[in-house]
Amino acid sequence: MGTRVDAVPRIECFIDVFHHTQERAQIRPDITPAELVQAIIDEFAGEISYLGRNASAYTIWLMEEERELDPGQRVDAQIRPGVRLALREREKPRPPGAHLLARPFYLREINHGYIYKVPWLPAIIGRPDPSLAENELVLVDLHDLPNGARVSRRHVRLLERDGEIFVERCARNSVTLLRAEGGEESLENHLLPLHPGDKIRLDRSQILLEALFPEPRAA
């Protein structure tokens, strides 16, 4: 990665980008970790379905010291040639009563490419509002999307039973589950299982969220 286009010397190192491990890279010394994250996103977005476009959702780690690079310093002040770096996702705190999932699970917003990692359940798709109950469970926050204001604050609940993930409508506004194999089902007042490739459509806003279940990554 990092095609050389000028005469600025580069720092040669290796970067783990999820399952793309030890990718050889030549990094400009004058960039910040956030700029390095953006360069990685630009290079790998077409190859990794669950890699989002929001650079603030990721950090760069120095593997040999198991620490995050200081976002306030340039890269050349923190690494030396030959080191191994890793792109990592920022983790949201797990609220009381939620449990970690045994397998990776993401929702991909189809129209704008937003990626929402779902590391724990139960969780809510909607918009945050501290005046309402379960605000800490609003993990998939859609308020920044162009039609986000048309999303209910507590729109859809995600939960797990016996190792399977289910969706449940919480709001009056209709929700449709588009099956990957074809067909669709309306979410009424019952649970429906969510399978890889299924899409959750919030009908009023026409926001589409695709379920992604990538293979577990090696530690």
Cα–Cα distances in angstroms (integers) from residue 133 to residues 119, 128, 129, 171, 206, in the given order: 21, 10, 8, 14, 25
The one-letter amino acid at 138: V
pLDDT bucket at 104, cuts 50 / 70 / 90: very high
Q: Where are the domains of the chain?
A: 11-89, 99-212
Taking the C-alpha atoms of residue 199 and residue 122, their distance in angstroms, rounded to an integer, is 18
> What average pLDDT does the segment 193-199 reach?
98
The confidence score (pLDDT) of residue 5 equals: 45
Kindly state the tokens that stand for 103.
């397998």
Q: What DSSP string runs through 55-111?
A: GGGEEEEEGGGTEEPPTTS-GGGT--TT-EEEEEEPPPPPPTT-EE-SS--EEEETT
Q: Which CATH number fits domain 99-212: 2.60.200.20, 3.40.190.10, 3.90.1150.50, 3.30.450.40?
A: 2.60.200.20
DSSP 78: T
Residues 6+ apart with CB under 8 A from 93: none
The confidence score (pLDDT) of residue 8 equals: 78
pLDDT bucket at 215, cuts 50 / 70 / 90: confident
What does the pLDDT look like over 30-80, one tens digit per residue?
999 999 999 999 999 889 999 998 899 999 999 999 999 999 999 999 999
Taking the C-alpha atoms of residue 176 and residue 185, their distance in angstroms, rounded to an integer, is 6
DSSP 129: -
Between 33 and 3, the more confident residue is 33
What does the pLDDT look like over 61-70, one tens digit per residue?
999 999 999 9
Hey, what CATH class is 11-89 in? alpha beta
Q: C-alpha 34: how far from its chain's center? A: 16
pLDDT above 80 for 1: no
Please, what is the average pLDDT of the chain? 93
The confidence score (pLDDT) of residue 3 equals: 41
The confidence score (pLDDT) of residue 113 equals: 86
HSE value, Cβ hemisphere, 13 Å, CA-based, for 188: 1
Instruction: State the pairing for strand pair 123-126/138-141.
Output: parallel
Report pTM. Answer: 0.88
Q: Supply angle C-alpha 156, 162, 164, rounded to 5.
A: 45
DSSP 94: P
